[in-house]
């Protein structure tokens, strides 16, 4: 068994209730390491192309990683992956919190789930054992009631539960998985896949100690990370205000999506900012397993909406998706919307963007009061937003259509509605207007999971000399690149930072702890893997793990029929940026196509369809995919 792992993958067939334990080789672990890459190794070998994502044939993988569960901050992330019911592509979402480390301490590195139960069940995994238990009494409950019910039933309040609420049960195509009521594997509809399998929850508890090769060395890196967090200005801002601190800078930069991306500055930004949240609803900060940053917000309210502190505070993406993108400046309503999404297990980005789509359709006369059962679905109507969240989760009225995502809803309504459906490959746009940062836009187009804002570190960090640029000097990027640059320099920068951020998906590292641009250096990440595993590893080897993961995700999508022509933006993103210092700025289709040409070439993928070449697959030990 390699250091840092349990050497065990749990296999569960829900149709037959059979449970097996697999013991992969050390070579397997070192090749894929964990997270999205490890999940893809199973999906590509065992999932047939073209299966119904909501059918029993789909395979659902929960994967921790080599670093998950070690006594060090920012190493808590785990991946949930399957074929996505939202996009039909590789579906993948990461969450931090406590569940991933607990799975490792419970004796397993990953869970591979097949089949469909004939009635609701949950998995109970503890100290090297696993069982399938009845969850009929929990079906129909939200996350809070489900977690409480399972903890009571099993008599342990420290059990960590990853769960779906009503949105997952009702197969909302962007339903997510939530652990500890507030940490979401948000995107691509992994909660709907759980719902389709009648799998209500996975409860984990473990007291097993993870063996690492060099505990003293690891302790040293962990302590220096704690010190680095204390002096890193970005980490200090995250600690004080969390990701809501991004609202004001993005608004000033003219890239805060507003009213379904028809504007890029919001007149109500100050009212939904991190600073205002701190002064009004905040009860302070909290964090994930072993993390010194503690960037998570805790909020409550007892005014117009009763907001429970148990479900966490809205992150930046939620403030923008349920706030500026809907023209809503009511922070209390947004906090309530966030709570409801975490109760029902709805991805807040896709939820907000689906409501934004509906609001633009309503204002354009494509959706009427008859369709909304009398609800004035206009931009700025906070009560309507709260009601629509419930409608989507329970598939009531118009909510049933919006539960399908904007791509399908736009196609159903037809005509102009398709223009208001802002998605890439079926996944709703995240809340960063890429017209002000081209690398982010290239990531939206290229991402294997559809539009994704954490595909690579964002352009502004590398615009000038300083800490951001210095943090990626080990990659050989030494000169600043302007945010609006779209040529070769930008594609090169994007490619390097994309590989790094994808590496975090394979290693289970939080995007807010490691460079670029946060506190933990690339060289210290390498040292951490070395101390944990004892492998004589290097940044080169880790980058190859990431490169391999990218190629596997691409191969997954190619066999589902997606290629170059799907790596594209919605028409609205080719229109001039409407507000802010870069007002009028545009990127053309030619800019994007030329960047794609270069990117594919840099990746060793062909220009015709972005397919990894034979040589590239051999280079990455992926020749088994040639078959
Ligand atoms: S930086 Fe924030 S999100 Fe990341 S592990 Fe720490 S507390 Fe969690």
Q: Find the CATH number of the domain harbouring 571.
A: 1.10.599.10
- Domain membership flag for residue 223: no
Q: Which atom of ligand 1 is nearest to the CA of 288?
A: 8
In a domain, 238, yes or no: no
Mutation pick for ligand 1 pocket among 67, 74, 515 (CB with most ligand atoms within 8 Å): 74
**Omega within 30 of 0 (cis) for the link into 517:** yes
3-state secondary structure of 525: helix
* 516 and 390 share one domain: no
374 lies in the same domain as 272:
yes
Whose Cα sits closest to atom 2 in ligand 1?
Answer: 295
Q: Which atom of ligand 1 is nearest to the CA of 242?
A: 2
Q: Best mutation site among 97, 179, 232, 287 for ligand 1, i.e. most ligand atoms within 8 A of its Cβ?
A: 287
- Interval between CA 99 and ligand 1 midpoint (Å): 13
pTM assigned to the model = 0.97
Residue 134 inside a domain? The answer is: yes
Nearest C-alpha neighbor of 251 from the set 274, 282, 285: 274
Q: Do 406 and 446 sit in the same domain of this protein?
A: no
Query: Which CATH number characterizes residue 175's domain?
Result: 3.60.9.10
Same domain, 407 and 512: no
Q: Ligand 1 centroid vs 459 CA: distance in angstroms?
A: 22
Contact 542, 67 (CB under 8 A): no
Domain boundary among 376, 406, 428: 428
Both 439 and 421 in one domain: the answer is no
- Best of 72, 76, 292 for a ligand 1 pocket test (most atoms within 8 Å of beta carbon): 76
Report the separation in Å between the CA atom of 22 and the middle of ligand 1, taken as the mean of its atom positions.
Answer: 31
586 in helix, strand or coil?
coil
Rama region for 300: left / alpha / beta (φ>0; ψ in -120 to 50; rest): beta
Shared-domain flag, residues 42 and 178: yes
Check: CB of residue 428 under 8 Å from CB of residue 259: no
Rounded distance from Cα 434 to ligand 1 centre (Å): 25
Predicted local confidence at residue 457, as pLDDT: 87
Q: Which helix (H) or strand (E) holds 29?
A: helix 26-32
The angle formed by the CA atoms of residues 21, 25 and 29, to the nearest 5 degrees, is 100
Atom of ligand 1 nearest to the CA of 294: 7
Of the candidates 303, 250, 234, 248, the one whose C-alpha atom is nearest the C-alpha of residue 276 is 248
The pLDDT assigned to 1 comes to 81
Assess whether 360 and 506 both reside in one domain: no
Going from the Cα of 253 to the center of ligand 1, the distance in angstroms, rounded, reads: 25
By C-alpha distance, which of 14, 37, 371 is closest to 200?
A: 14
428, 452, 480 - which closes a domain: 428
In a domain, 573, yes or no: yes
Atom 5 of ligand 1, nearest CA residue: 74
In 10 A of CB 412, how many CB atoms? 11
- Residues of the chain scoring pLDDT < 50: none
Backbone angles phi, psi at 131, to 5 degrees: -145, 155
Residue 185 CA, ligand 1 centroid: distance in Å = 14
Supply the pLDDT for residue 612: 98
Ligand 1 atom with the smallest distance to the CA of 289 is 5
Domain of residue 330: give its range: 244-428
Q: Is residue 230 included in any domain, yes or no?
A: no
Residues 409, 336 within the same domain: yes
Q: How far is the CA of 509 from the centre of ligand 1 (A)?
A: 9
What separation in angstroms does the CA of 330 have from each of 273, 304, 333, 439?
11, 10, 5, 31
What number of residues does the chain have?
Answer: 627
Residues with CB under 6 A from ligand 1: 73-74, 76, 96, 287-288, 291, 293-296, 510, 512-513
Residue with tokens 């391999």: 548
Cα–Cα distance, 369 to 366 (Å, whole number): 10
Does residue 222 lie in a domain region? no
Structure tokens at 28: 């397997």
Q: Report the distance separating Cα 595 and Cα 337, nearest Å.
A: 38
CA–centroid distance, residue 292 to ligand 1 (Å): 8
d(CA 94, ligand 1 centre) in Å: 12
Ligand 1 atom closest to Cα of 287?
7
CATH for 419 = 1.10.569.10
In-domain check, residue 323: yes
| Spatial separation of the C-alpha atoms in residues 184 and 49, rounded to whole Å | 27
Q: What is residue 3's three-state secondary structure?
A: coil
Ligand 1 centroid from CA 505, angstroms: 14
Which atom of ligand 1 lies at the shortest distance from residue 235's CA? 1
Q: How far is the CA of 96 from the centre of ligand 1 (A)?
A: 7
Give domain status of residue 218, yes or no. Answer: no
Q: What atom of ligand 1 comes closest to residue 510's alpha carbon?
A: 4
Q: Do 262 and 134 fall into the same domain? A: no
Predicted pLDDT at 481: 93
**Are both 166 and 43 inside the same structural domain?**
yes
Q: Which residue has the least CA distance to atom 1 on ligand 1?
A: 512
123 shares a domain with 262? no
Which atom of ligand 1 sits closest to the CA of residue 511?
A: 4
- From the CA of 72, how far away is ligand 1's center (Å)? 11
pLDDT at 566: 97
* Orientation of helix 438-446 relative to helix 589-603, angle to 10°: 70
Are the C-beta atoms of 335 and 313 separated by less than 8 Å?
yes
Residues with Cβ within 8 Å of 255's Cβ and at least 6 positions away in sequence, in order, are 264, 432, 433, 435, 436, 437, 577, 580
Considering the domain architecture, whether residues 401 and 472 belong to the same structural domain is answered as no
Mutate to test the pocket of ligand 1, among 69, 73, 230 (most ligand atoms within 8 A of CB): 73
Mapping DSSP onto H, E and C, the string for 525-573 reads: HHHHHHHHHCCCCCHHHHHHHHHHHHHHHHHHHHHCCCCHHHCCCCHHH
The structural domain count of the chain equals 3
Q: Which ligand 1 atom lies nearest to the CA of residue 286?
A: 7
CA distances from 80 to 60, 93, 571 (A): 7, 6, 31
Would you state the structure tokens that stand for residue 525, as one six-digit string?
Answer: 């990440």
| Shortest-distance Cα residue to atom 8 of ligand 1 | 288
Cα of 349 vs its chain's centroid, Å: 10
From 230, 296, 454, 519, mutation site for ligand 1 pocket: most ligand atoms within 8 A of C-beta? 296
Distance separating the N- and C-terminal Cα atoms of the chain: 30
User: Among the three residues 398, 428, 458, which one is the final residue of a domain in this structure?
Assistant: 428
Which helix or strand (DSSP H or E) is residue 618 part of? Answer: helix 614-619
Q: 588 burial class (0-12, 13-18, 19+ CB within 10 angstroms)?
A: exposed
Is there a contact between 110 and 36 (Cβ–Cβ < 8 Å)?
no
| d(CA 516, ligand 1 centre) in Å | 15
- The rounded Å distance from CA 308 to ligand 1 centre is 21
Looking from the CA of residue 74, the nearest atom of ligand 1 is 5
């Amino acid at each position: 068994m390699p250091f840092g792992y349990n050497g065990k993958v749990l296999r569960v067939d829900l149709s037959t209730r059979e449970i097996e334990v697999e013991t992969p080789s050390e070579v397997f672990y070192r090749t894929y390491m964990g997270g999205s890459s490890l999940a893809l190794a199973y999906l590509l070998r065992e999932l047939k192309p073209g299966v119904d994502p909501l059918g029993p044939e789909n395979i659902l993988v929960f994967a921790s990683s080599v670093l998950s569960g070690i006594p060090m901050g920012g190493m808590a992330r785990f991946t949930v992956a399957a074929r996505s019911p939202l996009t039909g592509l590789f579906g993948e979402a990461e969450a931090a919190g406590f569940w991933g480390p607990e799975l490792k301490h419970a004796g397993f590195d990953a869970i591979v789930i097949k089949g469909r139960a004939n009635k609701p069940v949950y998995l109970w995994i503890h100290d090297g054992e696993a069982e399938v238990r009845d969850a009929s009494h929990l079906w129909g409950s939200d996350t809070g009631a489900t977690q409480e019910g399972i903890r009571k039933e099993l008599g342990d309040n420290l059990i960590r539960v990853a769960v779906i609420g009503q949105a997952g049960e009702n197969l909302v195509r962007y339903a997510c998985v939530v652990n500890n009521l507030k940490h979401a594997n948000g995107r691509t509809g992994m909660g709907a896949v759980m719902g389709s399998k009648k799998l209500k929850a996975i409860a984990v508890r473990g007291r097993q100690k993870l063996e690492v090769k060099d505990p003293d060395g690891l302790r040293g890196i962990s302590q220096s990370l704690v010190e680095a967090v204390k002096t890193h200005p970005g980490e200090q801002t995250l600690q004080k205000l969390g990701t809501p601190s991004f609202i004001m800078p993005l608004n000033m930069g003219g890239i805060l999506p507003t009213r379904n991306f028809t504007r890029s500055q919001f007149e109500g930004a100050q009212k939904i900012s991190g600073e205002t949240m701190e002064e009004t609803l905040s009860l302070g900060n909290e964090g994930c397993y072993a993390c010194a940053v503690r960037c998570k917000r805790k909020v409550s309210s007892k005014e117009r909406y009763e907001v429970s502190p148990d479900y966490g505070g809205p992150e930046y993406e939620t403030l923008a998706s349920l706030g500026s993108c809907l023209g809503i400046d009511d922070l209390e309503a947004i906090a309530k919307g966030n709570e409801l999404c975490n109760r029902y297990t709805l991805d807040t980005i896709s939820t907000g963007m689906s409501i934004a789509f509906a609001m633009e359709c309503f204002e354009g006369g494509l959706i009427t009061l008859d369709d909304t059962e009398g609800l004035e679905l206009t931009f700025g109507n906070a009560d309507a937003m709260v009601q629509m969240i419930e409608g989507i989760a329970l598939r009531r009225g118009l909510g049933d259509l919006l539960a399908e995502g904007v791509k399908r809803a736009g196609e159903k309504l037809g005509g102009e509605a398709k223009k208001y459906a802002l998605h890439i490959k079926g996944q709703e746009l995240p809340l960063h207007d890429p017209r002000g940062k081209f690398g982010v836009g290239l990531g939206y187009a290229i991402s294997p999971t559809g539009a994704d804002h954490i595909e690579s570190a964002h352009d502004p960090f590398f615009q000038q000399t300083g800490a951001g640029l210095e943090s990626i000097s080990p990659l050989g990027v030494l000169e600043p690149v302007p945010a609006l640059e779209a040529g070769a320099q930008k594609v090169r920068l994007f490619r390097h930072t994309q590989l790094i951020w994808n590496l975090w998906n394979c290693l289970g590292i939080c995007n807010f702890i490691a460079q670029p641009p946060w506190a933990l250096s690339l060289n210290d990440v390498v040292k951490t893997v070395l101390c944990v595993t004892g492998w004589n590893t290097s940044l080169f080897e880790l980058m190859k793990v990431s490169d391999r993961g990218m190629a596997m995700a691409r191969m997954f999508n190619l066999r589902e029929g997606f290629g170059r022509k799907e790596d594209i933006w919605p028409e609205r993103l080719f229109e001039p940026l409407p507000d802010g210092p870069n007002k009028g700025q545009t990127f053309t289709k030619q800019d994007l196509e030329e960047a794609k040409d270069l990117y594919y070439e840099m990746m060793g993928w062909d220009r015709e369809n972005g397919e990894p070449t034979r040589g590239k697959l051999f280079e990455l030990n992926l020749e088994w995919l040639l078959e």
